[in-house]
Structure formats: structure tokens, C-alpha cells
Amino acid sequence: MNFAINAPLSPKLTPNMELAHRNTFGLDAYAELAYEISSAEQIPELIKIIQEQKMPWRVLGGGSNVILPAVLPGATLLMNIPGKELIKIDLTHTYLSVGAGVNWHEFVTWSLDNRFPGLENLALIPGTVGAAPIQNIGAYGVELADYIDSIDAYDSQDHTFVTLTKEGCCFAYRDSYFKQHPGRFIVTKVVFKVPNHWTPHLHYADLAKQFLNAESAPTAQQIFNTVCAIRTQKLPNPKVIGNAGSFFQNPIIPAEQYEALIKKFPQLISYPDALGTRKVAAGWLIDQCGFKGQRHGPVGVYENQALVLVNHGGGTAKDILDLASNIQEKVHQTFGIQLEIEPNIL
């Protein structure tokens, strides 16, 4: 069967595309049919054909938050929609429109170079702009949701383009409306809203301590540089050692469970949250169970951050998931807490 689309706007099709360099875990995988999406207009026709053929499909951005099987059957949509532009400045905010295929860190760098500070705490997070809202990326006390105006997406169920406001996106810790409806929306464009009056966000302890002895308040560029330095030191570079950043979410537990745990484990690291619940540092739990730096065949736990699983080379999705379930079991036995896997298992 011929799956190429003969329309003027057709996306580029590559059969049997190698994906080892398109997923940061560096897993050997290939996509049966890879379609490179370079404009939103290409999507409706492609989805129609995919659905008519009853093919499985998924979208791949930077491949930084996925665990891939050896073969991705059906259609894999490689998100490549470009574009970064200033759309308006009102009394309080500046609005920036960015294509879903733009690399996240490239966008953050561009925003600072063009004097639109605000996103510096989110520097160096791997992946694309279109993938960022799905898991509501966050780091050093800031979440993507804090800077969202609206998101454009294609709804593959209702066959229409939609624009969701920030409220419509139902953002929560590493969660969104898109994540709650897997396989339905394809994010095409994100409109960011950064305050015209910039204030630094330095309440995250790791970041704050870097500026303790500074004589003057840091600039956005200095915060950007510091976040890049901390991340480079703590997190493995996926070009050198395969990984998908934090492998587990930081679990949120009820106040009563926290009270009981802190009596038993006074060193427990956790943060209060607005709902009276506690967010516990999963990295600390895993570290206490002795996994940090351990190797399990071709995969393992990163030596500087126990929340990050790594592929030393030649690992498969099964190797990673087996190690993950060992960790989940031990953490559950020790602390009575169930860890949730963060990356998407395709």
C-alpha cells in the first residue's frame, strides 16, 4: 500500500526511519512510517488517512521524555513546525508565539537574547516547545504553566483545530489536559506571556544558595547561566549518556502519611504544597534505598542524581522498565510510597 500523500502540503514521509538519535535514552528503535510535520495545515489530511487505515500513530517531539519499543508500528509524526515571533506587548505582558517543533532551550535562549526575560529558570530542559505543556515542564521553582497564554492544537477526535486558554489546559504538577487525553491532541503552537516587569525567582534552595554572597541582585542572564551550570553538573548530557531526565515524579502524599514518615525518617526531604499535602523528593527515597550509581546490565541509576535512569549503551525498553520496577518495589517496601514513572512508554 502507498502511504505517501500527494497533496501540495504533504508532509515528508520516510519509511523505516531509525530513531536511535531521536530519543535521548538512545534506545535502538525505528518508525515504520515517519512523517515530518512542518506546518499545522498538513495535519488534518494526514490524520484522516491514518484513521481510515486504522493505523496506530503518535507524535514525537525531541524524544526526551519517551521510552521507545524496538519498532513503532504505523505512523510516527515528527513534530517540526518552526517559528518564534513577538506578537504583542500590552501594559503588563509580552506575548511570544512559538511553533511546536522549536527546540525548548533554543527558544529560552532567544527570549533572553531579545530582552524578554522570564523563562531563565527553565533553561537547558531538553525537548521541544510542543512537548513542554503536555507534562508542564518545571524546574528551579518555576513551571511552564506560569507563562502560558494559550495553546493551539489539532483535535484528532473532533477533527478541528482548537485554541485552549491556560485555564483550559488544566495544568498541575507534571500534568495537563493533553496528558489526560493521550492520543487526542497534536500541539501546533504555544503562545507565551511573560511579565514586562521582570522579577527573579530564587526561592528554590539550590538556586538561591548560588547568589547568597552576591553584592547585587542577579540579572536574568546570570540566573540562566547558573541554572545551566547546575543542570550540567547534576544531570547527565543525553549526547554522552542516554537518559530522559527525571524518571519518576516526586510523589505527593497526604499530611497524615507525611507525619508518620518524618517520625521514622527525620532526614526525609519534602516540600509543603498549597493543598496541605507534601511533595516528597523521589531522588532522596531512591538514594536511601541504595540504588544511586548502581548498574543493572546495560542500564543503571545515574551516579549524581538517583531520580535519573541511564542507558550506558545497548539497553532496551525492557531493561529500563525492569530496573524501574525493582526501584518501585524497594521504595514501596521501605517507605510505603508508590513511585509513578514520568516519561511516556510508547
Helix (H, G, I), strand (E, B), or coil: what is residue 234? helix
Tell me which residue of 189, 209, 207, 241 sits closest to 139, measured CA to CA.
207
Catalytic residue (one of 174, 231, 270, 278): 174
Helix (H, G, I), strand (E, B), or coil: what is residue 274? coil
Judged by beta carbon, residue 106 or residue 206, the one nearer ligand EPU is 206
Judged by beta carbon, residue 93 or residue 174, the one nearer ligand EPU is 174
**Residue number with the shortest CB distance to ligand EPU?**
245
Name the minimum Å distance from CB 274 to ligand EPU.
16
Judged by beta carbon, residue 95 or residue 173, the one nearer ligand EPU is 173
Judged by beta carbon, residue 32 or residue 342, the one nearer ligand EPU is 342
Tell me the C-alpha distance between 280 and 252, whole Å: 6
Residues that bind ligand EPU (CB under 6 A): 139-140, 204, 206, 234-235, 245-246, 249-250, 269, 281, 283-284, 287, 292, 305-307, 342
Catalytic residue (one of 32, 41, 143, 342): 342
Cell of 256: 497524615
Catalytic residue (one of 111, 176, 246, 270): 246
Residue 141: what residue type?
G
Q: What angle do CA 330, 334, 336 make, to 5 degrees?
A: 100
Give the chain's largest Cα–Cα span: 68
Tell me the C-alpha distance between 72 and 28, whole Å: 11
Name the minimum Å distance from CB 124 to ligand EPU.
9
Catalytic (active site) residue 342: yes
Catalytic (active site) residue 38: no
Number of Cβ atoms within 10 Å of the Cβ of 213: 6
Q: 3: buried, middle or exposed (CB in 10 Å: 19+, 13-18, 0-12)?
A: middle
Catalytic (active site) residue 215: no
Name the minimum Å distance from CB 266 to ligand EPU.
14
Name the minimum Å distance from CB 44 to ligand EPU.
32
Q: Which residues are part of the catalytic machinery?
A: 174, 246, 342
